[in-house]
Amino acid sequence: QLQLVESGGGLVQPGGSLRLSCAASGKPLDGYTIAWFRQAPGKEREGVSCLSSRTGSTNYADSVKGRFTFSRDSAKNTVFLQMNSLKPEDTAVYYCAASITSYCARRSMNYWGKGTLVTVSS
């Protein structure tokens, strides 16, 4: 059973940066599609970034393109989300998820972490 644990959230001022980590255990992440989602208060959970197991490429939501970067460290079985130029609208709980399929849709995810809260405020 794959288990995911996010960390790195916190309070940051607008324009600041945070790096989120998602540590996996139980199985290696290689071969899974891995994604970051977020859920702001009162809103639906939305995709932020996804690394497809089929294409090997990473995609980003339009709202974070050029500011967020997805990376992975296979040796540590961990993925990261570097978030720069943060805005108040980035405030949300951020979740790491993994799918046994090659799809990035929320409904395709088989495993979820419990999330880490990011608050962007002055």
Are 113 and 22 in contact by the 8 Å Cβ rule? The answer is yes
Residue 55 has pLDDT above 90, yes or no: no
For residue 12, the model assigns a pLDDT of 98
User: pLDDT at position 98, please?
Assistant: 98
Assign 85 to helix, strand or coil: coil
Give the Cα separation of 70 and 66 in Å (integer). 11
Q: Which residues contact 65 (CB under 8 A, 6 or more apart)?
A: none
Q: Which helix (H) or strand (E) holds 119?
A: strand 116-120
Mean pLDDT of 61-88: 97
* Three-class DSSP category at 22: strand
**What are the Cα distances from residue 114, in Å, to 19, 22, 38, 88?**
17, 10, 11, 22
Mean pLDDT of 8-18: 98
Q: What's the pLDDT score for residue 56?
A: 86
- 95-122 pLDDT, tens digit each: 999 999 999 999 999 999 999 999 999 9
Phi, psi angle pair for 44, to nearest 5°: -75, 155
